[in-house]
Structure 1
Amino acid sequence: MDRIAIQGGAQLFGEIPISGAKNSAIKLMAASILTDQPLRLTNMPRLADTKFLGQLLRQFGITVTESDGPDGQQTLFDAKAITSTFAPYELVRQMRASFNVLGPLLARTGHARVSLPGGCTIGARPVDLHIDALSRLGASIELDEGYVSATAPKGLRGAEIVFPFVSVGATEHALLAAVLANGTTVLRNAAREPEIGDLARCLIAMGARIQGLDTDVLTIDGVTSLNGTDWSVIPDRIEMGSYAVAAAMAGGEVRLTHARADLIQALTDKMIQAGVEITPTDDGVIVRRDPARRLKAVDVTTEIYPGFATDLQAQFMALMTTAEGTSVIHETIFENRFMHAPELARLGADIAVHAGEARVNGVEVLHGAPVMATDLRASVSLVIAGLVAQGETTVGRVYHLDRGFERLEEKLGACGAQIRRIHGEDDSDGH
């Protein structure tokens, strides 16, 4: 397995272009199942997760063609004929979001058999809400031997679905299924993440009838069919936030482009409180910090959007490891999302974790060491900490990182980071 090595101490100066959002792209890819006409997605990230889902779509008989077009990286999906509605474990297990093909397959063909998902081990994330939503839409569902078998031979039908708690995945899944259902569907307590808005707007461009965009109540009037369209994936706010934190950690000045400052407002507000200079631009932000001036500790609590994103919690914790004072970080979304704390401690961080709270006592210096990525966002937090750690930090199991960050070494290296990938070395013990 590959590792990433970082020699700490280099400031960052330059420009980092932000890729299309992984969490939007994979749901837009699933939307291609809903139409027999071509769907062209531009600003497409090239990631392990999009590769996995592309393989799964090909399993259904969908043609997936990647290319570089006038609008940058693009992928054309042609689902003229669905030849299979079976999603095997060996493909679905690689990424949780691939489970969301169930609803579109059911809406388009009336039947599907999909493996229960895999993905990051960051706490219990059952698919009960997904299955309940599809059941309310009229699907007959059976669970056997790790698979979900669903049928709706007369098509799905509109329903009112009230989510007991906010779930991004369940909201997206219900939305994908409801656009072809007979009648009207109302989703209450729906998630409001920008990626859901991106999916909804793309579906509208395909002919769907959706109201209540960017609110917690979505109303979908089902249509009999959808057409194809061209759609540009929104910028990845998690990648943008991660590089903003990296620039603040290392010091210097970095311009983040092809991005939207409004998507990470909760993060940048906290960074400004800590002493980072953030300047919005027409297509992103400029992040500046004088490394001679120590940052101040700031408390954060993860919340549903537009609050502080759980997917940026690990990165912000890395930033706080060398801040002056004590930062208290409350994780309210996923119960196991402090697995990066022991790895940061290997670099010299002073972190005490109790249940859903982490207390980070800032230290003056971190020291390079071998560390192990435990999930996607934790992996980049270790890279961020390695940017300032004295000596060399090596991050193992970076296949986690490759799921969500495109050309990370290239982007950071172009700004002066001393970072390289070590190919093929065995780090099975993690350290």
Structure 2
Amino acid sequence: MVYDTVANRAVLRHYSMATSSSTEFCLHSWGANSYGQLGQGHVEDLPEPRLSDTSALQDKAVRALSGGGGHSVVITENGEVFVCGQNHRGQLGLGHNADITALQLCPSLTQRVTKVACGWDFTLFLTDCGRVLACGSNAFGQLGVGQTVTHSADLLVVESLKEAVVSVAAGLRHTLAVTDSGCVYQWGTGLFTHAKRALSPRPVPAHLSSAVPSLVPGLDQKTSHMVTAGLAHCVCLTGDGDLFLWGSNKHGQLTTTESFLSSPCLVKRSLLGGEKVIHVWSGWTHIVAQTESGRVFTWGRGDYGQLGRQASTSQNPEQQSTGPSAEGRNKEACVPAEVKVLSGATQISCGSEHNLAIVGGCLLSWGWNEHGMCGDGSHRDVVQPQLISGLRPLLIGCGAGHSMAACTATTDSRQNSATTPPR
């Protein structure tokens, strides 16, 4: 749920230094807001983008936006972290468990943070020296600190990761990390029940049942580059452009007929136009990948429109086969297919079942829209990527059911302030 590039940071930095009185940095947010995760100062859902209260940021350049089940995290260019939203398990890292409805600095983060990954009710911070700090729920061992801690509002260091980490990802109840040498580690027992059901009577492998980082087997001949995660699946992209998937395949997101894969399985390049993959994102049950020529492919669950292609809405999960056979599934949704309108996208972000993208400087959204997270003013699911007009996005991020965009703004747009009552 995070996107970050050197080029994009440069744009943000240049913009933050602008002195023109007619422009200013702004943060828009919309969608689910039951816990104040939109940073608007209230807890009402918003079906259209509105300005968040960014007074705490003091015009700092923004590096990354991310969200979890009910919380949001903003990282500035200088590595400071600002948070808001649900905090019942301490996922904001503020040392207490009270919800926050406006962005607030996380003062305990004295180390410079470069990346963040938000799970449902936990958060992982990656520092510039490669350390992983974690807070929030540890009910499934997802913080990577063992099982004696049930949850923590204070930041905990994942001590057993001895090597510097370069990528970190949070699923619903499990975590992935890539180290500087290209090794992949997994922890959290969120996939254990799926694995036990599929593998019985065979034992569940350690990386699917560990409360501390466990090396993922099957990738030792590869140099991994980045990871992302879904509700119960895992994704790894290698430095040479290969994509590996494992975990639950309930919605065909692993491009196989197996119901569960306990170890990484290579996605054939022939399914992705024969090209290398340069970036990959994941929702709870769908995957989005971009190839070296800029083409964008989607696959997995599609019944909320989250695949962005009209003909690929899959059946309801109750109607889908959970066995090894793909019978009963819409096979089109299980095979990667190109979404041509997304070609050349400079950024993409996935929520649980909705998505944002920046294409040609324009902001597009599609997928689940029950809480208005597609930003079109309605609550109808959006089957194909549609334009969110009126915004000039620089950086985007999604939570499970909410959306955020750091934008350029004109003087005229400031009338849509965060203090204006929601419509």
TM score, norm. by length of structure 1: 0.30
Larger fraction in helix = 1
Question: Which structure: larger Rg?
Answer: 1
Identify the structure with bigger relative contact order (alpha carbons < 8 Å, sequence gap 6+): 1
Q: Normalising by structure 2, report the TM-score.
A: 0.30
